[in-house]
Structure formats: C-alpha cells, structure tokens
Amino acid sequence: AGRHPGHMNVLLAEADVPYDIVKEMEDINADLPQYDVSIVVGANDIVNPATQDDVTSPIYGMPAIEVWRCKACVVLKRSMATGYSGVDNPLFYRDNVRMLFGDAKTSLDSVYNSLAENEESIRGGAEASPEDRCRGAPEPEVYPPASKVLGVIRERRAGERRVSIAPSVVPALRRHGFSVLLEAGAGTAAGFADDEYLRHGEVRVAESANEVLLQADVVLKVNEPMLDEVQMLRSCQTMVGIWSMHASQDLLEALRQSQGSFINMALIPRISRAQKLDALTSMANIAGYKGVIDAFNRLPRFSRSSVTACGAVPPAKVFVIGAGVAGLSAIATAHALGAKVFA
C-alpha cells in the first residue's frame, strides 16, 4: 500500500481507521520499547533489522519500523518468503519474535476470541453493582473558554449539498477553544438540522452569511468563495475551503487584493504527515463510489451476473480510466456490485 498517492488513505477510510492513531515512523520508534507486544501483519522489508544493523545489506539505511525493540513481537505471514527487495529478514529468528502462519484475518480473529474469553473468565461473568455502574458513568466534558469564533456559511453554488463541518465535529472544535457561529440552514441540504449543532453548546445560529463573516475569526467553506465573501474578509480573518486550482481571474485578483488569509485544502500534499488534512482524498473516494452508483442507475441492465429459469444474464463490463484515489474507489465499487472490471 502507499505506492501511489492516496492509496493508504483509501485503505484507512475503508477500514474506518481514525487518522489520529496513524503515526509517522519517527513518532513510533522512540516509544516501541515501552510496548509489551507488536503485531506485524504481512510487512517484511519495512520491519527488517538489516536496514539498521547490516551495512552490507542492500536495504541498509532504509527507514524501518523497529518492532524488534518491543518486549515481544508476533509476525503474521503466509510463509518465510522475502519481501520486494529479495532480502532475508533476521527479524523472524529473534528470541522475542513468534511467527504465526496462515490467513491473517483468521489468525487475528482467533487471537481476539481467545482474549475475549480470557477477559470474561477474569470477570467471572459477575454483573456490575449499581455503585460500579455509577463510578463508570462518564463525567460531562468540560471545555476550555472559547477564544476564537469559527464560522460556517451555507454553500451558494447551485446543486451543492455539502457543509464544511458535521455536528459531530463540534466537540473537537470546542476542545481547541472555538465557539461556532452557524449560518441558519447551512447543514440542511447535507441532512443536518441546526438543532443538531446547537445541542453541543457554544453554537450560535446567524440569520445570514454576512453576519457570520462579520463576527468569525475563521470561516469554513466547501467550495471556492464568492467575490462578495472575499471582499468582506478583514486582515484578522482566515477562510478555509477546497477550491479549484483553476479559479477565475476575477476571483484570483480579488484574493490577491483581499486583506484576509486563505487556505486551499486542495493543495495539501498527499503524505502521511498531512493525511488528517487530506480532504481531497476523502472527496475523491466518494466521487469514485458515487460515479459507479450513478452509472448503474442509468444503465438499463444488471451489474452482476444472474441465472434464472429463463436463462443467464452476464455481468456488466466496467472500464475505469485512471487508478488514482477516485479510480481505485470506482474499481472497488464496481467489483463489489458484481461487474467485470477493466482499468
């Protein structure tokens, strides 16, 4: 994974892995000696000690995740075969390493079930007392005082249904010292009523976009700003959005003359360190999925093969041009629908 920009981001999104637990190598290696066990699923060269210890190795000096520094390491693989580099991995023979061969999912499911059974036996199946349940009840979260106002305005482009933040994001913003000023109806087209934002507290509803632009320190949008929005921004304000890199000359000139600051999320590089900000990959993933769904909605035939008493229907053939983030998502969606996919 990761041999093309955005691949890893797609895999993480499909597996519902939150970005805040995905770390850079340099963030991980220093802490590994404190861990009881590391679990390696399929990786080889990137966890090879020869990258650090063997100056004669062709992969010496390559960055690696130093899993061998944990108290124990479990490696899940199908065989002892080498990785892409063709270099043997001495990790597999270390005293603190155990090899677990076979299908990784089956193996991990077995480990998980064993842990669950062990946890149940430790608890003895005893029901928690009312006092224990009270002690375990979460305390209401206390947020820091708001020092900045974050504004959310309704998208004015025809056909646009998205909104820059969902109600579930409000608590995270409050933890960072933001209050939220929401234009009335900003999230309605996306399926979020104003009340869903208000339930988190420190959220106010403004009657117009102008009111938001006058009061907010940071303004969030999905699409590129309108000319009048740019002209209203003051020097102390910042606007953030996902904008086309081929904006009109009038807009570019207005941005140049504006006193405000602008951050275009479409220009953030697709690297692991910046993946929390990679909104473009998320949108491309959705676009690939939606493109296939819309295509089959218009195609007058089944996507998958079907065998009935009246005869057989062959699967549809789908040709995907491009294998970037959107293309990979389209390929996966068409394949899941039973189509025969070419790319």
CATH number for the domain harbouring residue 56: 3.40.50.1220
Task: Choose among 230, 247, 258, 251: nearest CA to 221.
Answer: 230
Sign of CA pseudo-dihedral 19, 20, 26, 28: negative
pLDDT at residue 280 in the model: 83
Average pLDDT taken over every residue of the chain = 86
Q: Which residues contact 46 (CB under 8 A, 6 or more apart)?
A: 62, 63, 64, 65, 83
What residue has token string 């009523």? 193
Q: How confident is the model at residue 169 (pLDDT cuts 50, 70, 90)?
A: very high
pLDDT at residue 194 in the model: 95
CB 108 within 8 A of CB 37: no
Residues 152 and 90 in one domain: no
Residues 289 and 322 in one domain: yes
Last residue in a domain, options 267, 292, 317? 267
Question: What average pLDDT does range 264-276 have in this prediction?
Answer: 80
CB 230 within 8 A of CB 251: yes
Whether the predicted pLDDT of 193 surpasses 80: yes
Last residue in a domain, options 54, 82, 110? 110
SS3 281: helix
- How many structural domains comprise the chain? 3
pLDDT tens-place string over residues 57-96: 999 998 899 999 999 999 999 888 888 888 899 999 999 9
Pairing of β 178-183 and β 203-206: parallel
Residues 256 and 284 in one domain: no
pLDDT tens-place string over residues 11-25: 777 777 777 777 777
CB 221 within 8 A of CB 266: no
Total-model pTM: 0.61
pLDDT tens-place string over residues 210-247: 999 999 999 999 998 888 899 898 889 999 998 876 66
Is 210 within a domain?
A: yes
Count of residues making up the chain:
343
Q: How confident is the model at residue 135 (pLDDT cuts 50, 70, 90)?
A: low
Is 181 within a domain?
A: yes
Is 128 within a domain?
A: no
Residues 228 and 311 in one domain: no
Percent of the chain topping pLDDT 90:
47
pLDDT at residue 191 in the model: 94
Last residue in a domain, options 267, 297, 330? 267
Residue 223 structural domain: 148-267
Residues 160 and 263 in one domain: yes
Whether the predicted pLDDT of 122 surpasses 70: no
Question: What average pLDDT does range 124-148 have in this prediction?
Answer: 68
Q: What is the DSSP letter of 263?
A: E
pLDDT at residue 1 in the model: 46
Whether the predicted pLDDT of 264 surpasses 60: yes
Residues 233 and 320 in one domain: no
What Cα–Cα distance (Å) separates residue 131 from each residue in 121, 122, 123, 138?
Answer: 22, 20, 16, 14
For the chain, the straight-line distance linking the first and the last C-alpha, in angstroms and rounded, comes to 18
Question: Distance between CA atoms of 99 and 302, rounded to whole angstroms?
Answer: 45
CATH of the domain at 154: 3.40.50.720
Question: What average pLDDT does range 251-272 have in this prediction?
Answer: 86
